[in-house]
């Protein structure tokens, strides 16, 4: 049991800060609006150009390019986050399997017996 709790705590420590910082980043908070029209909500760094310039985003090739780069960056971060989440899920699943195997050996033996019988 101590090994199970230790591994679970390790996973939490290893990924907690990383995922929290991603979710709190401008990219993470902007994920919901990623497909909005350019005239909609803008990433925070674009607002540094001032309201008048931000409103002209459709008219400026430089701003248009910056907008597209921002959307690409956010999409890439979303994909990275999903990959990290899958990795974490896999590690947690492995730890939970270890817990189940060690805690319920009789049930595991019965399950394996049933699987063999039905193959």
Task: Provide the CB-side half-sphere exposure for 40 (13 A, CA).
Answer: 7
How much is the pLDDT for 105?
72
- Round to whole Å and give the CA distance between 44 and 46: 5
How much is the pLDDT for 81?
72
How much is the pLDDT for 108?
72
Which residue ranges make up each domain of the chain? 2-117
For residue range 15-72, what is the model confidence (pLDDT) as tens digits?
A: 666 555 555 555 444 444 443 434 444 444 444 444 444 444 455 566 666 667 766 7
Quote the mean pLDDT of the chain: 62
pLDDT tier at 12, thresholds 50, 70, 90: low
How much is the pLDDT for 4?
63
pLDDT tier at 119, thresholds 50, 70, 90: confident
Longest CA pairwise span in the chain (Å)? 72
For residue range 73-93, what is the model confidence (pLDDT) as tens digits?
A: 767 777 777 777 777 777 777
Triad 12, 92, 30: Cα angle to 5°: 60
């Amino acid at each position: 049991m101590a090994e199970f709790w230790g591994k679970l705590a390790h996973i939490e420590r290893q990924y907690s800060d990383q995922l929290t910082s991603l979710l709190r980043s401008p990219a993470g908070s902007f994920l919901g609006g990623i497909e909005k029209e350019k005239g909609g909500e803008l990433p925070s760094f674009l607002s540094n150009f001032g309201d008048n310039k931000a409103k002209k985003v459709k008219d400026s090739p430089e701003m248009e390019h910056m907008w597209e780069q921002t959307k690409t960056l956010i999409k890439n971060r979303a994909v990275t986050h999903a990959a990290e989440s899958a990795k974490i899920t896999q590690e947690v699943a492995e730890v939970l399997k270890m817990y189940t195997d060690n805690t319920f050996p009789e049930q595991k033996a019965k399950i394996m017996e049933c699987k063999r019988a039905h193959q």
